[in-house]
Chain A
């Protein structure tokens, strides 16, 4: 990650600062109320909804967005698994799905199917890629012992 210094209103939501002030557009707006998960990012190894988080709360913290998931152009096992298992269609919920799943694997490198379902429950996909997403998370966990 890269340290950035920004003078912004402390009450502004992280989502919009990422998307407009920093030009990091991978993180998506879906509902604005923490109800769909499209805006999920990782802060302090936790998956959080960036639409509900203001800048004051994230000052000095390390924020990982989907742009930061691949390392030197090399996709993470989780990203590779999403590609391999076609775990997406329109792709709009995908950044949130990946970051939420990444947060899950940080906490629990070998989640069971029911743990995956429980952790992903708040992330919505309208195209119906759910079956593939579960399969991809399982495959990523198996392939590399989670996100490590």
Chain B
């Protein structure tokens, strides 16, 4: 397989899906000054992580407009307190993906302490090391290694302290259960005893980890550490934060994107006692002590907008996108397509479509901002607390260290909570009113301002030889992005080109904001590729699993495919076999997945009931198999939505879906039987786990629908209407 073009220097948003390493970008950003920081974290042993003059620093400087020498010693990764308790610091946030548990697990393992003695501080920009954001399944892959290295360094400090205290050589000392002891069994001290009265700060310059070690805690399935808080209602989200004098804001919104306010009358707001109108440029907001009263007050405003004529809607968008597509970028290439075409016995050409899809986390975007004495504190539901810190500082015109972002639990993100619009609105209103302000979007605002997964088109032309070898593969993806576009089959002549390769589109492409959505681009690309492979298998007269294996040399992919086939009980048959079986496989965030599904299609109503979904996943070292399994089950369940029902309806900049009555996300009755297998690969580096298992859901169901009915669905979602249409076409 040819890799996607990427250079380490080119760390822009669009390339996040590629080969960059979070470890090399633990930024040099100083959260607070040194004394302040040490006061905040208290005494004990503090381990920081310093990346020597690296791309990260250049990048950090570039991000800040450059020039100044930035401090490099405040990326504190962990602290062992004088009570022996361990605190891990990470700029990552907890939005359900389980990092709070898996990161604590890594620390406990590396430090030889019981898991119970580890606390995690997450997403607090004054306390935690700089971080680009929680997305891209990067926490374990890229934050994990330096985090573990910091723990190894802390352990080395404890051993040094014990060696000094006892006058025993370090190599005679061992650690276990939060204690250091000597091999002869004479001496023993807890970490708390060793740490007491110490103020030691250490800097790690590169992850010198033992390549293989016997994990005692890593690799064990552990239940979520946040579960008790979440089942008792004590878990706090941004909307649960309170400050004295807090006002709740509702903001006047246009009926469609790109509309202009031409008339507004706020005089009737005064009928609502306690309501206050704030107008600042294009922003008109109503503030009240209670959000429901602010809502009533907002409804009193009379407004009129000029809307541009709608030139595109959810039906015409695909033609529009093809028309405005910029020049393509070659993602992967090999052999000679003309040569491959000559050798083709059978050729299959098709175009695949998918609609805009919403993130629709159950927690809408929410934030509370407070400005006191020139310092702003923001509690926000965000996947990018450090990005918010910079954006808020620039909005307020203050240095970045005057802004602190605290991230409570985030009620689901899926890529949709990276923009921070709601938090910047709260900051702006807090500044205008001089009071703490909370902005909690309504569900309608959530749909309106969501950065949707882009609508996209994939065109594939491919052929097979008379012996069932894929002879050429010509692949073009428009507007989804390049992640997952390159195939992994054994094809001599191939080319993969991405047009409009970023998920934010190009000017004039999407009529509203788009952005990364769980496994960005890969859902679109895997749907197209794996559907097409199935069509080639039919042309070859072969079972779709046998056809894949015949055209696949990649050992990891063969292994997951064979594993899922065994678990599922797949027996070879030419499609359509009428069994309703489907298969699909893919690679995301370094992880290999293969899915099999069984569906039942009601040919009268067009309704698809997914009976079973099995998934085998190879993700290298798996830190917490329980957490990884939850992510796989969640991905499979969430993926039913974009496969079968989810699509945003719109007319120009007007979003027609504003709530869950018309925008359908998966419900209990949709549930298939789900089985997951994580293949043992603990000697390979840990790969991503939050996204991979969602990428096959479109194709595995489309292929199963074909197997059940002989009808091929080329557009997602596969609504009953589209199923009936495909059945009618035969």
Contact = CB atoms under 8 A, between A and B. Distances in A.
Contacts of A86: 223-224, 227, 626, 630
B665 A66 contact: no
Contacts of B364: 29-30
Interface in B520-544: none
A66 B362 CA distance: 17
A84 B671 CA distance: 21
Given A32-B443, A86-B626, A117-B671, A98 B231 contact: yes
Nearest to A66: B233
A66 B230 CA distance: 10
Contacts of A25: 233, 236, 239-240
A121 B669 contact: yes
Contacts of B626: 86
Contacts of A27: 233
A112 interface: no
Given A25-B239, A35-B660, A91 B634 contact: no
A12 B274 CA distance: 15
A94 B229 CA distance: 11
Contacts of B235: 91
Contact of A90 (B233, B410, B440, B667): B410
A83 B101 CA distance: 14
Interface in A76-129: 79, 82-84, 86, 88-95, 98, 116-118, 120-121, 123-129
Contact of A16 (B291, B362, B668, B674): B291
B598 interface: no
B638 A127 contact: yes
A139 interface: no
Interface string B398-421: 000000000001111110000000
Contacts of A29: 239, 364, 440
A94 B231 contact: yes
B633 A132 contact: yes
B292 interface: yes
Where chain B touches its partner, the secondary structure class is loop
Interface in B614-637: 626, 630, 633-637
Contacts of A130: 637, 666-668, 671
A52 interface: no
A94 B361 CA distance: 13
A38 interface: yes
B232 A131 contact: no
A83 B227 contact: yes
Contacts of B240: 19, 25
Interface in B71-104: 95-98
B363 interface: yes
Contact of A121 (B95, B630, B668, B674): B668
Given A30-B362, A32-B443, A84-B223, A20 B290 contact: yes
B661 interface: yes
Interface string A14-48: 01100111010111111111011010000000000
A73 B667 CA distance: 32
Interface in B232-262: 232-237, 239-240, 242, 248
A51 to B, nearest CB: 9
Contacts of A57: none
Given A12-B292, A29-B440, A126-B362, A94 B230 contact: yes
B669 A65 contact: no
B240 to A, nearest CB: 4
A119 to B, nearest CB: 9
A141 interface: no
B442 interface: yes
B233 A20 contact: no
Contact of A38 (B96, B293, B362): B362
A28 B363 contact: yes
A130 B248 CA distance: 33
A59 interface: no
B671 A131 contact: yes
Contacts of A9: 293
B361 A126 contact: yes
A124 B667 contact: yes
Given A16-B291, A36-B362, A128-B633, A90 B95 contact: yes
B412 A92 contact: yes
B634 A124 contact: no
With most chain B CB atoms within 10 A of its CB, the pick from A23, A120, A124 is: A124
Contact of B674 (A21, A31, A131): A131
A124 B446 CA distance: 16
A67 interface: yes
A143 interface: no
A85 B630 CA distance: 10
A129 B634 contact: yes
Contacts of B98: 89
A146 interface: no
With most chain B CB atoms within 10 A of its CB, the pick from A23, A32, A90, A131 is: A90
A95 B230 CA distance: 8
Contacts of A118: 669
A88 B635 CA distance: 13
A104 to B, nearest CB: 12
Interface in B364-388: 364
A29 B62 CA distance: 40
A33 B638 contact: no
A91 B226 contact: yes
A124 B660 contact: yes
Contact of A31 (B290, B630, B634, B659): B659
Contacts of A98: 231
Nearest to A23: B242
A117 to B, nearest CB: 4
A89 B634 contact: yes
A28 B292 CA distance: 14
Contacts of B97: 89
A70 B230 CA distance: 12
Given A28-B363, A89-B97, A20 B289 contact: yes
A84 B626 CA distance: 11
A10 to B, nearest CB: 13
Contacts of B224: 83, 86, 88-89
B228 interface: yes
5 contacts: A38-B362, A66-B233, A124-B660, A128-B638, A131-B637
Closest A-B pairs by Cβ, 5 of them: A26-B233, A92-B411, A128-B637, A90-B96, A91-B230
Interface of B: 95-98, 223-224, 226-237, 239-240, 242, 248, 289-293, 360-364, 409-414, 440, 442-443, 626, 630, 633-638, 659-661, 665-669, 671, 674
Given A36-B443, A84-B223, A126-B361, 17 more contacts: A21-B290, A28-B411, A30-B364, A38-B362, A82-B227, A83-B227, A83-B231, A89-B98, A89-B224, A89-B412, A90-B410, A92-B237, A92-B362, A92-B409, A116-B668, A126-B362, A133-B668
